[in-house]
A and B are shown apart, each in its own frame.
Chain A
Amino acid sequence: MLIIPCPWCGPRAEQEFHFAGEPKARPVPAEQVSDQTWAHYLYHRSNEKGAHRELWSHAHGCGRWFVMERDTHTHQILSTKAPA
């Protein structure tokens, strides 16, 4: 069981949260983006073993989004902060 520190609500149980993938910037302008770049944006992931940047939402709490850095090998939470 992870206890996740929501930047707004403080420490709460993992069931209140929703993992939503790795944060990424959408490639623009759309008409100039190659199929390869678009496929990488949509589907490819760094999927790191170790420190991993992740987008989460406090779905069953304040409902807000935040960025979490978490070690995927130990499950240690390294930091949570509001998205830039």
Chain B
Amino acid sequence: MRYSAFNLIRHGLGNPLGWGPAWKPASLKPSYDAIIIGGGGHGLASAYYLAKNHGIRRVAVLERGWIGGGNTGRNTTIVRSNYFFGESARLYDHALKLYEGLSEDLNYNIMLSQRGVINIAHSEHEMELMTRSVNAMLLNGIDVELLDRKQLLAEVPLANDAPDARFPLHGGFVQRRGGVARHDAVAWGYARAASQLGVDIIQNCEVTGFIRDQNRITGLETTHGRVSAGVFGLAVAGHSSVMAAKAGFDLPLQSYALQAMVSEPLKPILHNVVMSGRTHAYVSQSDKGELVFGAGLDLYPSYAQRGNLPTAQEIIAGLLEIFPAFRRLKMLRQWAGIVDVCWDYSPIIGPAPVDGLYLNCGWGTGGFKAIPAGGWLLAHLLAHGKHDPLSAPFDLTRFQTGALIDEAAGAGIAH
């Protein structure tokens, strides 16, 4: 059923339970044209674009828990495309452009709020580096603007401008098309739209092994039985190395916990997304009024899906240095997701070292903003067996050729 104002009124007045499920319940068939492992945003978007862009509809998404229960439902929902290198700018801006039309495309309100993403520079030296980054972004066609100290304070009046501030405000830059979107809606919207095109979305179905014919993956062992397919996409984020080991190869990834937290709800107090590279802190205010914030990774590899206390304290300390006004707030929740971090902080999109399997992983701390593009590009690989020009630089072979896309050094801030 289409979601519309008319249907909202009709169901509101009539039978409010008559909406039906957003995506059809499905059980595993013996075979498919394509199977996506992992029902996060990237997996669901891949299935949707396979059906929509390439007409391949005998597709299943296998999710071991519930869809969107991984990092897609645990992230702080910042979207932006202010990356340093051209390869990244093209990738993330493709995603941002798709996000801009996504509510209409999916007939599902993803609550995209382009409220602007502001990065603060705390010293003259940082400002110089930021100016260089901004120039690179402008050359890449990304809409960013430098802010001097006065402009920064006009945008973020609550930021700590005291003469003895530990991290003084020097200036910053803003991407006005950046902002936030509702994470659950992105997962559910893609699931619903994919399901309407015939994709089977199968939850509580863990992939436990690969069935091979020499160097080719031909099927999967799952907790719902065996299944075969022509091609397979792997989009399991923090568990990419675990699945790769089952398929007989390893990846240039390390899995870490990344945590975030929310405060008690407040009246509107912060109208943009604010990030500070020096303290790693970043924060935005949700529609419910909670401050949503986080910072860097926990300090060692983890699959534990919970953040450790020393890092939590550092995150809060960083936030309070920039926003002393938040000092008395109570925290409501704290959580973590397991993110797969690549050495150059760029994703891996491309064929795996075994035939028939394609990778979408390594998004690390910042792949929510990329979901539409990651899905778009994995779908292209699954349909054609070769790269779209946008994904070619992100191939796994860059670790052998040395053509890394070092956004850790380039763009500085992840997420």
B-binding residues in A (CB < 8 A): 1-2, 13-15, 18-19, 35-36, 38-40, 42-49, 52, 54, 70, 72-75
**Given the complex of chains A and B, what is the CA–CA distance between A19 and B304 in angstroms?**
17
A-binding residues in B (CB < 8 A): 239, 241-242, 245, 250-255, 299-304, 308-310, 343, 399-401
Contacts A44-B250, A45-B253, A72-B255 given; indicate if A15 touches B304 (C-beta within 8 A): no
Task: Determine whether the beta carbon of B299 is less than 8 Å from that of A19.
Answer: yes
Q: Which residues of B contact A39 (CB under 8 A)?
A: 252, 399-400
**Given the complex of chains A and B, what is the CA–CA distance between A45 and B304 in angstroms?**
18
Task: Determine whether the beta carbon of B301 is less than 8 Å from that of A72.
Answer: yes
Task: Determine whether the beta carbon of A73 is less than 8 Å from that of B304.
Answer: yes
Extra A-B contacts (7), CB below 8 Å, given A44-B252, A72-B301, A73-B303: A14-B310, A44-B251, A45-B250, A45-B252, A47-B242, A49-B239, A73-B304
Task: Determine whether the beta carbon of B251 is less than 8 Å from that of A72.
Answer: no
Q: Which residues of A contact B245 (CB under 8 A)?
A: 46, 48
Task: Determine whether the beta carbon of B300 is less than 8 Å from that of A54.
Answer: yes
Task: Determine whether the beta carbon of A46 is less than 8 Å from that of B250.
Answer: yes
Q: What 4 A-B pairs have minimum CB-CB distances, sorted nearest first?
A: A47-B241, A43-B252, A19-B300, A39-B400
Task: Determine whether the beta carbon of B250 is less than 8 Å from that of A47.
Answer: yes
Residue on B with the closest CB to A14?
A: B310
Task: Determine whether the beta carbon of A47 is less than 8 Å from that of B254.
Answer: yes
Q: Which residues of B contact A40 (CB under 8 A)?
A: 250
Return 23 A-B CB contacts under 8 Å, by A number: A1-B308, A1-B310, A2-B308, A14-B308, A14-B310, A19-B299, A19-B301, A38-B400, A39-B400, A44-B251, A44-B252, A45-B241, A45-B250, A45-B254, A47-B241, A47-B242, A47-B253, A47-B255, A49-B239, A54-B300, A70-B300, A72-B255, A74-B304
CB distance from B251 to the nearest CB of A (A): 7
Contacts A43-B343, A46-B250, A47-B251 given; indicate if A72 touches B308 (C-beta within 8 A): no
**Given the complex of chains A and B, what is the CA–CA distance between A66 and B241 in angstroms?**
25
Task: Determine whether the beta carbon of B303 is less than 8 Å from that of A49.
Answer: yes
CB distance from A78 to the nearest CB of B (A): 14
CB distance from B247 to the nearest CB of A (A): 14
CB distance from A2 to the nearest CB of B (A): 7
Q: Which residues of A contact B343 (CB under 8 A)?
A: 43
**Given the complex of chains A and B, what is the CA–CA distance between A54 and B254 in angstroms?**
12
Task: Determine whether the beta carbon of A72 is less than 8 Å from that of B302.
Answer: yes
CB distance from B362 to the nearest CB of A (A): 11
Q: Which residues of B contact A13 (CB under 8 A)?
A: 310
Task: Determine whether the beta carbon of B302 is less than 8 Å from that of A46.
Answer: no
**Given the complex of chains A and B, what is the CA–CA distance between A54 and B206 in angstroms?**
28
Contacts A14-B308, A49-B242, A72-B255 given; indicate if A43 touches B300 (C-beta within 8 A): no
Q: Which residues of B contact A75 (CB under 8 A)?
A: 302, 304
CB distance from B106 to the nearest CB of A (A): 33
CB distance from B38 to the nearest CB of A (A): 15
Q: Which residues of A contact B309 (CB under 8 A)?
A: 1
Q: Which residues of A contact B302 (CB under 8 A)?
A: 72, 75
Residue on A with the closest CB to B250?
A: A44
**Given the complex of chains A and B, what is the CA–CA distance between A49 and B310 in angstroms?**
22
Residue on B with the closest CB to A20?
A: B300
Task: Determine whether the beta carbon of A35 is less than 8 Å from that of B400.
Answer: yes
CB distance from B343 to the nearest CB of A (A): 5
CB distance from B301 to the nearest CB of A (A): 5
CB distance from B249 to the nearest CB of A (A): 9
CB distance from B137 to the nearest CB of A (A): 27
Q: Which residues of A contact B304 (CB under 8 A)?
A: 72-75
**Given the complex of chains A and B, what is the CA–CA distance between A29 and B343 in angstroms?**
25
**Given the complex of chains A and B, what is the CA–CA distance between A40 and B252 in angstroms?**
8
Residue on B with the closest CB to A15?
A: B310
**Given the complex of chains A and B, what is the CA–CA distance between A35 and B401 in angstroms?**
8
Task: Determine whether the beta carbon of B400 is less than 8 Å from that of A46.
Answer: no
Task: Determine whether the beta carbon of A47 is less than 8 Å from that of B399.
Answer: no
CB distance from A44 to the nearest CB of B (A): 5
Task: Determine whether the beta carbon of A47 is less than 8 Å from that of B301.
Answer: yes
Contacts A44-B251, A45-B253 given; indicate if A14 touches B299 (C-beta within 8 A): yes
**Given the complex of chains A and B, what is the CA–CA distance between A19 and B250 in angstroms?**
21
**Given the complex of chains A and B, what is the CA–CA distance between A35 and B253 in angstroms?**
18
Q: Which residues of B contact A73 (CB under 8 A)?
A: 303-304
